[in-house]
Amino acid sequence: MGNQSRGHAGALAMAGSAGMLMPIQALITSSAAAPLGGYLPAAMLSGLTSLLCMAIASLCIPAARRGWKHFGLVWRERIIPRWFIFAGLIGAYYMVAQAMSVGSIGLALFAVAVVGARTLSSILIDVIGFSPAGRQPITRQRMLGAVLLVIGASIAAWGTGARAAEDPMAPIALGVAIGAGLLVSFQQSMNGRAGQAYESTATATTINYLASIAGLLVAMSVFAGLGIESFGFASNPEWWMYFAGPLGILFVVTGVSLVPKLGSLVLGIGLVTGQLVGSLLMDLLLEPQKVGTSEIIGTLVTLLAVFVTAWRTNGRPRWKVTKP
C-alpha cells in the first residue's frame, strides 16, 4: 500500500473515530435541555465551553496565533467569500437540532435523518466543487457507497419511526434533523476552505464558535421577547453538561482538517459510520437488552458502505464530472 493510500485510510479512520463520539454529544445536549430551560440554553452551554477551549488553544498554539494574522489578510484581500464567517450559524442550528430532536424521535432516527440528508448534500458539494478538495469524480462506486450508507442507517433504526409517531412533535423534530443534515456538509466545506486560507484549523474553528454564539444570543433574545423561553440558564449546569462542547470541537476540527483530503462525501460517510458504531456501543454498554439484530446488521451495512466508497482502484473512473 502506497503512502497516499495509507494517508487516505488514516484520514478515514480519524473521521470514524470522531463520529463515534457524536452520539455522546447528542445525548448530553438533549438531556441538558430540560434542566437548563430549553433547547437554546443547552446549545449555548455547548457553544460557550467550545469557545473557551478554542480561545485557550489560540493563545497557546503558535500556529493558531499566526492564523489570526492570516485572518486579517484573508479578510482584506477577500481570498475566500466573507460570508464564510457565518458558517458557525449552521453549527448553532445543528446543536439546537440535537437538543430538540433526540429527545423526541430518538438518537437512531435522528442519525438516519442526518445521514440521508447530508449524503445528498455531500454529493452536490462534490459535483459543484464547493469543498476544498474541488470537484470529485462521481463514480458508480461512490454512488453505491452512498446508497448502502442510507440503507444501513435505515436498517439500524428499524422500528424507531413507529415509536416516534406517538409524539406529536416528532414530524417537526424530524424536519429539523433533515435540515441539519442538509446544511452540515456545507458548514464543513466552508470551514475547510477557511482553515486552508488562514493556515490554521484552530483559527477557523474559533471563528466558527464565535458566529455560533452570536446567532444563539440573537435567537435567545427573540425567544425571551416572545415569552417562549427565558433568557439564560434556568438552573446551574451540572458537571457532565460541560462535555458536549469539547466533543463538538472534535467534530468541527475533523471537518476542517480532513475535508480537503477526503472530499465532502467520503468525510461524511466516515463520520456517520463512526456515529452509528458509537450508538451501537453505547446501547450495548448502557441498555444491552434493547439492542436488536437490525441495529447490528445496519451498522455492518454502513461499514460496508465505507469500504465500497473509499476503495481505490488502479483504473480511472468511468463516470465522472468533467472540469470546465
Q: How far apart are CA 309 and CA 78, in angstroms?
A: 35
Contacts of residue 310, Cβ cutoff 8 Å, sequence gap at least 6? 8, 9, 12, 145, 266, 269, 270
Q: What is the pLDDT of residue 2?
A: 54
Asked if 255 and 185 touch (Cβ cutoff 8 Å), the reply is no
Q: What is the pLDDT of residue 315?
A: 39
Model confidence band, residue 70 (pLDDT cutoffs 50, 70, 90): confident
Q: What is the pLDDT of residue 322?
A: 34
Q: What is the pLDDT of residue 264?
A: 65
Distances 163 to 31, 151, 168 between C-alpha atoms, Å: 19, 20, 11
The per-residue pLDDT for range 295-318, each reduced to its tens digit, is 778 778 877 877 776 665 443 433
DSSP-based three-state secondary structure for 167: coil
Q: How far apart are CA 20 and CA 282, in angstroms?
A: 10
Neighbours of 79 (CB within 10 A): 15
Q: What is the pLDDT of residue 133?
A: 64
Q: Is residue 232 predicted with pLDDT exceeding 70?
A: yes
Q: What is the pLDDT of residue 314?
A: 42
Q: Is residue 134 predicted with pLDDT exceeding 70?
A: no
Asked if 26 and 109 touch (Cβ cutoff 8 Å), the reply is no
- The least confident of 97-101, 224-228, 275-279 is 275-279
Mean of the per-residue pLDDT values for the chain? 78
Q: What is the pLDDT of residue 218?
A: 92
Q: What is the pLDDT of residue 316?
A: 41
Model confidence band, residue 195 (pLDDT cutoffs 50, 70, 90): confident
The per-residue pLDDT for range 136-167, each reduced to its tens digit, is 667 777 778 778 877 877 787 776 665 566 66
- The least confident of 122-126, 137-141, 212-216 is 137-141
Q: Phi and psi of 132, rounded to 5°?
A: -60, -20
Q: What is the pLDDT of residue 6?
A: 60
SS (H, E, C) 200-223: CHHHHHHHHHHHHHHHHHHHHHHH
Of 23-27, 119-123, 134-138, give the range with the top mean pLDDT.
23-27
Q: What is the pLDDT of residue 102?
A: 79
Domain boundaries, the chain: 21-310
Q: Is residue 321 predicted with pLDDT exceeding 50?
A: no
Q: How far is CA 51 from the centre of its chain?
A: 17
- Identify which has the larger pLDDT, 291 or 35: 35
Q: Is residue 257 predicted with pLDDT exceeding 80?
A: no
- Identify which has the larger pLDDT, 3 or 134: 134
Per the structure block, which three cell numbers stand in for 295?
441495529
Average pLDDT score over residue span 235-253: 83
Distances 136 to 125, 143, 261, 323 between C-alpha atoms, Å: 9, 12, 11, 10
Distances 155 to 103, 149, 159, 239, 281 between C-alpha atoms, Å: 20, 10, 9, 35, 16
Strand extents, DSSP E, 233-311: none
Q: What is the DSSP string of 107-132?
A: HHHHHHHHHHHHHHHHHHHHHHT-ST
Q: What is the pLDDT of residue 91?
A: 84
